[in-house]
Amino acid sequence: MYHNLLSYLALVLVVAIPLIITAIGGMFTERGGVTNIGLEGLMVIGAFLGILFINKVPAEAVGGRYVLFFLGSLVAALGGVLVSFFHAIAAVKMRADQIISATAINILTPALALFLTFTLNLGQGDKLPINANPFRISEVPILSKIPFIGDLFFTNVLPSIYVGIVILIAAYIVLYKTKFGLRLRSCGENPHAADAAGINIYRMRMTGVMISGALAGLGGFYLILGFTIEFDANVSGYGFLAIAVLIFGNWKPFNVALSALLFSALLTLSKGVAFFPALENLNINSNVWSMLPYVATIIVLILTSKNSLAPKAIGQIYDKGER
């Protein structure tokens, strides 16, 4: 039973970490007042570039596999920033409909990834092979001896788990304890007041969107690395799920992390059922289990809709000349 529970929780973490990272990215853009349903597309481009990088660059050339891992993460994040720049400039500077320009990103990046993989022969057909095993940390010396936590967090894990935790804490500090965070939040709540206080709304919002690009790229890379063995320019809707996680987490870092864990527990249920004989004996179609998180999301959204703390100026185009 203990081992079953452990392997289920490990699976939950594999999904939860990328969701946390991406949802926190979403938090930065939405707290600044710009919606970004392009997270899905940004995850795809991050995963594509990151995996391409770790496939093509030999570990010896950069000095070790963990260095390669972090360089890959960097490439994934930069890819996300680059693509999200287009959304940022359209949605913030050019007063475009934020949903439309993000949709363009969602259509562009999977197509671009597939097209490049196929035309330039980067993988097999239009798929990139993935081998995450070299990057797994088999055991962290002393820490892995801690009873439960040691098995879950410090044995046979990808380094992404630590990156995720660092990002979560950093996000909290940046958003609540720095000048930048305060300014960003004010842009999402009342941009006109923020403007009057001398804050450059355009620059703040663009930064917010680009942070979300970086984090979504990173999230996509980690998701694909931990979850599959073949990348076909598809992150199976986790970008959209991250938005749901964000809403459920009420746009607050630690709530977002908790809701991501809850979501992941539900998301992995269809695979996790195998670990629990009691549930497996119910003999329910695995697709019903797969459906569950989405039904739960809708129910949760209904229940939380009354006390939603959404940024007030979210989705609104800021125009200096208005009023």
Closest distance between other proteins and the C-beta of residue 310, in Å? 9
Dihedral of alpha carbons 123, 125, 130, 131, sign: negative
119 makes contact with other proteins (CB under 8 A): yes
73 makes contact with other proteins (CB under 8 A): no
Count of chain residues binding other proteins (CB under 8 A): 46
237 makes contact with other proteins (CB under 8 A): yes
- Candidates 66, 70, 85, 86; binder of other proteins (CB under 8 A) is 86
d(CA 39, CA 220): 9
* Greatest pairwise CA separation for the chain in angstroms: 64
Closest distance between other proteins and the C-beta of residue 167, in Å? 23
162 makes contact with other proteins (CB under 8 A): no
126 makes contact with other proteins (CB under 8 A): yes
Residues β-bridged to residue 128: 231
- Candidates 133, 138, 285, 307; binder of other proteins (CB under 8 A) is 285
d(CA 176, CA 195): 20
Q: Would you say 280 and 273 are in contact if contact means Cβ atoms under 8 Å apart?
A: yes
- Candidates 10, 12, 45, 105; binder of other proteins (CB under 8 A) is 105
In the 8-state DSSP scheme, what is residue 91?
A: I
Closest distance between other proteins and the C-beta of residue 178, in Å? 29
- Candidates 243, 257, 262, 313; binder of other proteins (CB under 8 A) is 243
d(CA 42, CA 191): 26
Closest distance between other proteins and the C-beta of residue 236, in Å? 8
Closest distance between other proteins and the C-beta of residue 270, in Å? 9
d(CA 79, CA 217): 7
235 makes contact with other proteins (CB under 8 A): no
- Candidates 133, 138, 287, 307; binder of other proteins (CB under 8 A) is 287
Per CB under 8 A, the segment of 64-72, 165-173, 190-198, 300-308 that binds other proteins is: 300-308
309 makes contact with other proteins (CB under 8 A): no
Closest distance between other proteins and the C-beta of residue 34, in Å? 13
User: How many CB atoms lie under 10 A from the CB of residue 57?
Assistant: 14
User: How many CB atoms lie under 10 A from the CB of residue 128?
Assistant: 21
110 makes contact with other proteins (CB under 8 A): yes
56 makes contact with other proteins (CB under 8 A): no
Task: Report which residue type is found at 33.
Answer: G
Q: Would you say 154 and 146 are in contact if contact means Cβ atoms under 8 Å apart?
A: yes
Report CA-CA distances (Å) from 52 to 76, 105, 158, 238, 256: 10, 20, 18, 20, 30
Q: Which is nearer to other proteins, 139 or 280 (CB)?
A: 280
3-state secondary structure of 283: coil
Q: Would you say 226 and 2 are in contact if contact means Cβ atoms under 8 Å apart?
A: no
In the 8-state DSSP scheme, what is residue 317?
A: P
Structure tokens at 189: 């709540």
Per CB under 8 A, the segment of 47-55, 163-171, 219-227, 288-296 that binds other proteins is: 288-296
Phi, psi of 184 (to 5 degrees): -60, -45
List interacting residues with other proteins (CB under 8 A). Answer: 37, 86, 90, 94-97, 99-101, 103-108, 110-112, 114-116, 118-120, 126, 234, 236-237, 240, 243-244, 247, 285, 287-288, 290-291, 294-295, 297-298, 301-302, 305-306
